[in-house]
Structure formats: structure tokens, C-alpha cells
Structure 1
């Protein structure tokens, strides 16, 4: 069972952007091997540094990488998915969008540092080009690997009997679940007063007048925009697919002529000044200047009082938490699901150790059925919010059992079946794909016979 789930684990690790950012030019120590090609899959190359860094990251995440041969094989599996995905005509080529996304991520990371030199030094890159290229490569691999994995396994399913068989076979190997909780929430965005809204709109209108008077949109965006993903690029987003941006932004942008500038536009993120740069088919380029609608202390206090009155109605039995979440919560991910917060695996059970610090602090000392006092938070898209949390259940650490953890065990059984489907697909593809493995791994015993050609 462990071998069957390793590919899914390692594939998931590769999807985490920050875990692989340290793939930079590191200082070699005495005895270190100079970076070279470890494996070639079609026209995809796996470097020795790829293997070392992914292994280091896996260890940091608590995974065991004692068997390097198994680890290398998992990486080869993923690279074959990527190679075939790029040849699959039903998988959209998103190279341009991925490149733009990489530039946006670079700008977001840069916004967390005092200057570019400090950032590059921290992540061990020599130049901005190297770092952007690394981000782009990681994002591209993530996209194509996920898409091909999904295409191969999209019809996978398990029956109740298969779940039971899986549990009976592997029950003594299943992990112990740490202390967990099930939580529901009601989140509200403090509403800005009309006077505050008018003040923000007036600032944007002043910026617009300065641009019309001769200032460049790009320079004003760099100075005033609150959007970390585009401010450093003069507010520019390129190759925006229709449906990608929030509706008010897209509607305003697509109603402009090329070069034209909008009036202030309100969205969930704040207020925008938008300039359409280019429109081509289903994509467009646009610049914007964002001023976030940050509530002040008075507006936050008003929201707290409103939510506290809702909390009182729930406690007095005059309204259910579910109904209150549907009627009043501003969190779109949970309001239509009785306010239930989902964990990383999609279930309603969350390990206490994985809770955000603010929520962990707020629920401390509470029991099943309790509702916290109203508190402030900034977890929702970096916006200031007020919230209450209901503790739906408290689950002590335990071994997975089919009577209490059926859905989780079902997902494990489904993952196993998906892995088996991918393994079968790999074996069918092997005769038609050039694969070359460095002689350094000649003593490895792989589950799949990858050695069609060996290069030194």
C-alpha cells in the first residue's frame, strides 16, 4: 500500500510552489556533484538538482525519502505525465498564461522584501531572469502534470465493497489521525460608509485626471496601486482569459476601446481604474490601479455589533447557524454549505495543528457546540473581516476506522485505484517514449522497466 500511495504523495509535493523555489544556484561544498542530467523523458529533462531539492522538500514536509530509487521513479512518472500532456491536443496549451502568471508571482514575492537583491539572495538566485524562469517551469510542470493525471483518472470510482476490501487489507498500515475539529463559520466584510467610499473614488478620479493630463498609467500604478501582483509591472496583466477576473473588472475592461480608461469600478477587492491595452479573441491585456477598500476602526466596530446580534439570535434558538451563514456570511466558499470549513482533503475534519493561528486561538477552551465571540481576522484574501466560529465536533486522535472515517478511507481507496490506472497507462506508453537514465542509477530496482537507453 505504501508504494501505491507514494506517487500521489510526491506528485502533490511537486505542486507546492514555495517548496521548490530553492532550486537556485547553490554554493557547492567539497564532495558535492556538479549538476547534470539524471533522466531524459522524451524531450523533458530531469536534473540532479531537481531530484535533490524535491527530496529535501519532501523531508521538510515529513515524508520519508529513505529509498532514493523509489523517489527518482516517482519523479520520472510525473515527468512522463508532463511530456504526454504537452502532446495531448485536448489539453490546452497555456504557455503564455503561465508565463504571465510567473511574472505576477515574482512581483508578489518581491512585494514581501525591501528590495530585489534581498529577495534573490534569500531564494539563492543570481538574477531575476533565473527566478522567473524557475517559477514558470514549476507552474508549467504543475499544470501539465495535473491535467494529464486528471485525464487518465477522470472515470475512476470505487464501490462500497472496494472500500471495505481496501480497509480490510490495509487497516494495520493506515495512519493515526491527530486531534481534529469540525468547524463552521460566519464571516462578514465590514461595510464602508458612503463618505469613505466617496473618498476612495475621489482619489482614483484624481489619479485619472493626472493621467489624462500627461502622467503615464504605468507610473501611477507603480506609485499608487495596492495590487502586489501587478503594481511593479505598471498595473499590467497580459493574456487574461475571459472569466478569469472578477465580473465587475471584466465587464468594465471589455466595454472599453483599446487605450481607453474606465471610471472607478468597485469589486470585492476594492476600487479599480482600468485601461484596456489590447483585445484579441478570447483574451485581453489590461492595466489597472487598485485602491483597497480597507475599513476603518469605526466600520469594523459596526460590523462586530451586527454579527454579535446575529450570534445572540443563534444562541437564543431564534435562528440556526446554517440559516445565519446562508443569509449573512460574505464567505462564498462556506455560506452555501452551512458555513462548514473544509480541510485540505475536502472533508469537514481539520487537524488542530493545521488551523490558522487566529482560529486556533479563538476556539481554545471551547467545547463541541460552542460558538466563539466575534473576532477580527484577515484570512479572507488579506481583507479585514469579522467572524464567529461554531465548534461542530471535537475528534480525539485515533486510528482510522471504517465506521467513523468512511469518506477518508474511500478517498484513500480511490487514490490507490488512480495510481494503478496511471501505472498501467505508463506501461502502455513506454514502448513509444524515449527514456534515458544516467548510469548513476544502474543499481536501482524500479517497479517499471524504464531503462531503454542508458547514458553516462
Structure 2
């Protein structure tokens, strides 16, 4: 198999690990394959309708699923990992926590659409309940698949010589790098005035008073809470592990008695009323009502003026960008790293096409070493002001080991990991029942899954 096809298979498998999931507790025996079932791996079932639903979901996420055989083989491989993961006593069962997060994820996706019907139509689900169930299954399989994948490939590594060999072997098959940039940023969240804070706190105190006078916490959360992940559920979060929530929230919640309601609590997300529902060992259930700290025009203008002064200090060489990011940036992900923005793969080189529209617009026309003017942006419903420095501009080019060593090393490592997973699958295959519907009989799979059809 050539390198391009192998890389494509790795990408398909990675996508499936990230998004696919249909699980059932039904126990099947060899010969139990029925119409509507695409495949069975151990006691993990993949339905034909689920494959179609997942293909629709994948398309919405921008994945290429045109090759049904490659997509299906990725699903089957992942199901084998999931089947083995559930039998692995070193992998924690997190089904309960995943179930609780399904509604929150549903609401996050909903926020990207004008209304619920548009979202359901786009993802081809009939009802909200059907989509929430699918999200839960996706996350469950994603968790088990990723955990097993990580356990198998934990010790994977490549030496510099192996990276060089990889490059020499596949140099003419490696993809071309598109136009990229390397950027640093300083982000500041506009601060609310004391008067504005007092208004929000007074509103929460009035809500608390209404609850104490007979209104239910659940109904008030549905009416007033601005947390999309819990408002529809009466503000409830269940099975919260210690350390999961931001520190001010957790400290306040765990200092309450069951049923007790806190005074307004400030966090990076805004102001909360918190009610401790239940506490058991390292887990607890809590309800909250969140009022976001949304800055007004005057507060945003003040932040812009402050950041513009910092920009002037940098330009006049009275302070480096790195020093300014460490001292003033509110972005925890970049302030300790000289403000450097990294992509999903951890690299500081980001394709221009993948930049957020606001940043892409702001850096247009700028050259290497320049800093944008202060601009306003909203990320995850939070207002911010920012400046961006263009550290480097990389024109489209063929991957080369002298300039792209870290990226080529990662590709070589991914190949090594893929080989380890393939070896693991082949070792386990003779001992696991696998059955694939005849709809896929014309597929040429990388692994001969049909040898395991009898379970021998």
C-alpha cells in the first residue's frame, strides 16, 4: 500500500476514534447476524443505519467519507479496540459521567445553529432525544477507543535516524504544506466596573431571595441561568469529580451543606448561585444559576485603550512581546508560552485557511514581525480585546526535513503507532468473533476480517 493511502487510512481511523460510537449491551453469538446489522465485533454491534448516521455526522465535521470501505474498516478497527478496552481493568468506566455531559454537548452544538430544527435537519436526526443519545454513544466509544489506543501506543517512539529513513522513503508522497503563519497574541478580557458587578450580584441575590420564599431552584435556573450546558436541566450537574470545575465554583460548592445555597460567587465565567445537591466521596452533584459578566461598550473601550498602551511599549522596545504576554495576557493557554498560538496538532505553524475569520482579517497585509492594531473579538460567547504579532509567514511548499523536521517526525511516529495498533488487532483477531454484512463483500480491507467470522 502506498504512503498516501496509508496516511489516508490513518486519518480515517483517527476520525472514527474521535467521532464514531454505537454500543449495545446485547450479547451475540456466532451466526446471529441479522438484517440491518453492518458488523459485529465481539459483542459490539454496528447497525447499517448507524453507519449512515455517522457518515452524515462526519460530513458535517468536514471529513471525507466517500470511500465506504475505508470508512467501514476504520469503524471495525475502532470497535475491536472498544471491545478490548471494556475488558481492560486498568481503564476506568466513565459511562455515568459521559451520559451527564451529553446534554451539555448537545446545547453547545445547538448554539452554532439558528434553531433546533435546522440543527436536527443538518445532522439528519429526527428528535433531540435521538441526537443526545447518539452524542452519548459517540463519546462513550470515543473514550474507550482513545484509551485503548493510548495504552497500545504508549511506548511508541522514533529515533532521528528513523525520521530520516521515513522521509527518504516517502519524500515524494508526502503532502504539500499550504500557506502558513506563526502567530503570538495578547488577549485581555474587559473588566466590569464595580457598579456593573453590583447590578449582577443584586440580581442574583433577588433570585436567591425568591427561592427562599418558595420558588424552586430548578425553575429559576431554567428562567435566568445563562449556562447553555445546564440551564435546560434546572442548572444540574451530576457526578462532578473534584478538580473538574473552576476553583471558585468548587470551593463554594463543597463548603455548602446539602440543599444549602451559596451567596453570589465570581468565576471567570461570571457570577453563580450554587446549590449543593449531594456529596459522596470524591464526587458531588450541584445546581447553579450563572449570570455572565458581559462587558458594556464603555468597559470594552477602556480595555482597548489599556492594550493599545501595552502595544506601544512593545513597538518602542520598552518591553518584549513575550514579557507583555506573561504580564498582561488573560489567555491561560498562551501567556506562559510567549503568547504563541498553536494548532490542534500542537504546532505553532497554522494554515491560513484554518485561522479564525477575525484573526485572518486582522493580519491581512501585515508582514513578518509586525503587530496588529487592537481589535475586538468574541470567543465562546466571551468578549475580548487582542493584538497579534506575525512571527513568521511560511509559503506553500513540499515538506522538507531541514525545515519541517518536527512535522515529519510526528508523521513517522503516527505511522509507528498505526503499525502497533495493526499488530495488536491481528493478534487479537483470531480470538474475537467478527462478522461483516455481505453488503461489504466487495471491499478490499487492509486486514482480513473475514478470517475471524467464525470466531476461531
TM-score by length of 1: 0.91
Residue of structure 2 equivalent to 1:386: 385
Residue of structure 1 equivalent to 2:93: 93
Report whether the alignment pairs 1:428 with 2:432: no
| Runs of 4+ residues deviating >3 angstroms | 49-68, 107-124
Shift of 1:53: 4.7
Of 6, 10, 13, 2:12 maps to 10
Structure 1 residue matching 2:89: 3-state secondary structure? coil
Determine the C-alpha separation between the residues in 2 that align with 1:123 and 1:148.
28
Residue of structure 1 equivalent to 2:73: 73
Shift of the 154–371 alpha-carbon distance from structure 1 to 2, 3 Å rule, reads same
Q: Which moved more, 1:115-124 or 1:384-393?
A: 115-124
Kindly indicate whether the alpha-carbon contact (under 8 Å) linking 2:180 and 2:395 is maintained by their aligned counterparts in 1.
yes
Cα-Cα RMSD: 2.2
Residue of structure 2 equivalent to 1:24: none
Q: Which moved more, 1:125-134 or 1:309-318?
A: 125-134
Shift of the 174–383 alpha-carbon distance from structure 1 to 2, 3 Å rule, reads same
Residue of structure 1 equivalent to 2:237: 237
Residue of structure 2 equivalent to 1:320: 320
Q: Which moved more, 1:332-341 or 1:37-46?
A: 37-46
Gaps of 5+ in 2: 22-33
Residue of structure 2 equivalent to 1:407: 406
Residue of structure 1 equivalent to 2:417: 418
> Superposed, which structure 2 residues align to 1:265-414 within 5 Å?
265-379=265-379, 381-414=380-413
Q: Which moved more, 1:138-147 or 1:417-426?
A: 138-147
Residue of structure 1 equivalent to 2:24: none
> Superposed, which structure 2 residues align to 1:156-175 within 5 Å?
156-175=156-175
Kindly indicate whether the alpha-carbon contact (under 8 Å) linking 1:7 and 1:419 is maintained by their aligned counterparts in 2.
no
Report whether the alignment pairs 1:254 with 2:254: yes
Kindly indicate whether the alpha-carbon contact (under 8 Å) linking 2:153 and 2:421 is maintained by their aligned counterparts in 1.
yes
Shift of 1:70: 3.1
Shift of the 148–389 alpha-carbon distance from structure 1 to 2, 3 Å rule, reads same
Residue of structure 1 equivalent to 2:197: 197
Shift of 1:113: 6.0
Residue of structure 2 equivalent to 1:28: none
Determine the C-alpha separation between the residues in 2 that align with 1:15 and 1:392.
34
Residue of structure 1 equivalent to 2:28: none
Shift of the 60–285 alpha-carbon distance from structure 1 to 2, 3 Å rule, reads closer
Determine the C-alpha separation between the residues in 2 that align with 1:62 and 1:100.
27
Determine the C-alpha separation between the residues in 2 that align with 1:175 and 1:35.
41
Kindly indicate whether the alpha-carbon contact (under 8 Å) linking 1:5 and 1:415 is maintained by their aligned counterparts in 2.
no
Kindly indicate whether the alpha-carbon contact (under 8 Å) linking 1:36 and 1:48 is maintained by their aligned counterparts in 2.
yes
Determine the C-alpha separation between the residues in 1 that align with 2:173 and 2:130.
43
Determine the C-alpha separation between the residues in 1 that align with 2:118 and 2:158.
50
Kindly indicate whether the alpha-carbon contact (under 8 Å) linking 1:277 and 1:287 is maintained by their aligned counterparts in 2.
yes
Q: Which moved more, 1:70-79 or 1:333-342?
A: 70-79
Determine the C-alpha separation between the residues in 1 that align with 2:263 and 2:64.
55
